[in-house]
Amino acid sequence: MGAIRYNFERVNSIAGDRPVLAVVKADGYGHGAVQISRTLLGAGAHGLAVAYLEEALEIREAGISAPVIVLFGLPADKVSYCFDYNLTPVVWSVEQASALSGEATRRSSSITLHIKIDTGMGRLGLHPGEAVESIVRIIDMPGLAVEGILSHFSDADLASADVADAQLELFRSVDSKLQDRGIRIRFRHMANSAAVISFRASLLDMVRPGLMLYGYNPVPEQSDLDLRPAMTVKSTVISVKRVPTGTPVSYGRTFCTKRESLIATMAAGYADGFSTALSNRGRVIVRGKIAPVVGRVCMDLAMLDVTEVDGVSVGDKVTLIGEEAGHGCWADAMAGLAGTIPYEILTSIGKRVTRVYQ
């Protein structure tokens, strides 16, 4: 877990004295939410952010008592869980807040929440033109303590600086109007990993990094940022066979050998997160050498051309994500081959893949 702690320190060095809300949704980006949460909190994270209730409950049931923010809210019939488990929901409507207030009143209790503003994502959040009046109404509801307001950049990598600037300005305008009414919200937060790295004006009162905690840089042009990928994924060779020229490999015969070849089968497939998009284009490391994926990736297996790799035998380890003998196979490169993003590669690692923490 040293890489996670190291990456957190990189965030902390930029954030200064701002609290860090560590994003551990999607099972800690595939790394294991409970173990990652403990490591990040031990390193100094203020709290944790998850997507859904079930993720928050897993963290609470593991005995973690730190603040947990549920980013994508709760159904009205589940609001009681926020009180039972001391969770901080994000709301984006007066109706959601009213349901929480009603539960607080029934319990003679109170709850802390954050309010989301849609500054251009077009997904969730109060419209900026209606946000101030809605937030004022929510603040006036009994049993509610509005601790934060937040928004979300529509470009995860902040590829368009003009768009990011406009979103931040919209967010600031809402906050400014609230302050004109004497309302000062404790935490204002927008900064994802890319913003932490390259958009310092958006750091505000709290930062909310995700991808960079796991060792990947969403702003590749910032090549001087030193991050360490936290996840290594390995499989095992379970079969090696020598086949003649013209031998089809895997479903649909999308690959046929053009020479006598040595084909190894590894015990990993798309059910483990090794995408079918890597069929006939993926790369792994076997015995310190790069080996191409050949044929379609199956649910549980994938085939490799190891003709150029000396001494391959059953039981050899295969590095899907990681580094060996100077060769690297990392999630961002894999994403490029698969036509996707590293977030998807990491979060697709299946539950049946055993996690070992060091």
User: Are 61 and 47 in contact, with CB atoms under 8 Å apart?
Assistant: no
| Nearest alpha-carbon partner for 135 in 75, 183, 188, 169 | 183
Evaluate if residue 132 carries a pLDDT over 90: yes
14-19: average pLDDT = 95
169-191: average pLDDT = 97
pLDDT score of 155: 86
| Nearest alpha-carbon partner for 125 in 159, 88, 153 | 153
Give 74's pLDDT tier (boundaries 50, 70, 90): confident
Please report how many Cα atoms fall inside a 13 Å half-sphere around the Cα of residue 344, on the Cβ side: 14
pLDDT score of 351: 87
Q: What is the pTM of this model?
A: 0.95
Indicate which residue of 29, 78, 241, 251 is catalytic: 251
303-319: average pLDDT = 98
| 109-137 per-residue burial string, b: 16 or more CB within 10 A, e: under 16 | eebbbbbbbbbbeeebbbebeebbebbee
Indicate which residue of 25, 81, 216, 270 is catalytic: 25
The region that residue 69 occupies, defined by phi over 0 for left and psi between -120 and 50 for alpha, beta otherwise, is beta
Evaluate if residue 157 carries a pLDDT over 90: no
Q: Is 351 a catalytic residue?
A: no
User: Are 299 and 327 in contact, with CB atoms under 8 Å apart?
Assistant: no
pLDDT score of 221: 77
The Cα–Cα gap between 286 and 288 comes to 5
pLDDT in tens, 326-354: 999 999 999 999 999 999 999 999 889 99
Which amino acid makes up residue 110?
Answer: S
Total number of residues shown for the chain = 358
Helix axes 128-139, 161-180, angle to 10 degrees: 40
pLDDT score of 223: 62
The Cα–Cα gap between 195 and 200 comes to 7
- What is the CATH code of the structural domain delimited by 2-214? 3.20.20.10
The Cα–Cα gap between 352 and 355 comes to 9
Evaluate if residue 357 carries a pLDDT over 80: yes
Q: Which helix (H) or strand (E) holds 290?
A: strand 289-294
- Which residues touch 128 (CB under 8 Å, ≥6 apart)? 117, 118, 119, 170, 171, 173, 174
pLDDT score of 225: 83
User: Are 214 and 229 in contact, with CB atoms under 8 Å apart?
Assistant: yes
pLDDT in tens, 220-262: 776 678 899 999 999 999 999 999 999 999 999 999 999 999 9
pLDDT score of 145: 98
Q: Is 81 a catalytic residue?
A: no
Evaluate if residue 204 carries a pLDDT over 80: yes
pLDDT score of 306: 98
25-54: average pLDDT = 97
Where does the chain hold its CATH 3.20.20.10 domain(s)? Answer: 2-214
3-state secondary structure of 283: strand
Where does the chain hold its CATH 2.40.37.10 domain(s)? Answer: 233-347
User: Are 295 and 251 in contact, with CB atoms under 8 Å apart?
Assistant: yes
50-59: average pLDDT = 98
| Nearest alpha-carbon partner for 334 in 243, 223, 232 | 232
Evaluate if residue 219 carries a pLDDT over 80: yes
pLDDT score of 210: 97
Give 34's pLDDT tier (boundaries 50, 70, 90): very high
Give 59's pLDDT tier (boundaries 50, 70, 90): very high
Average pLDDT, the chain: 96
- What is the CATH code of the structural domain delimited by 233-347? 2.40.37.10
Q: Which helix (H) or strand (E) holds 40?
A: helix 33-43
Give 6's pLDDT tier (boundaries 50, 70, 90): very high
CA-to-CA separations, 134 to 150, 340, 346, in angstroms, rounded:
14, 38, 37
% residues pLDDT > 90 (the chain): 93
The strands making up 111-116's β-sheet, listed across from edge to edge, are: 21-23, 47-50, 68-70, 88-91, 111-116, 144-150, 187-189
pLDDT score of 73: 83
pLDDT score of 343: 96
Q: Which helix (H) or strand (E) holds 195?
A: helix 193-198
3-state secondary structure of 186: coil
| Nearest alpha-carbon partner for 45 in 210, 195, 200 | 210
The Cα–Cα gap between 48 and 59 comes to 9
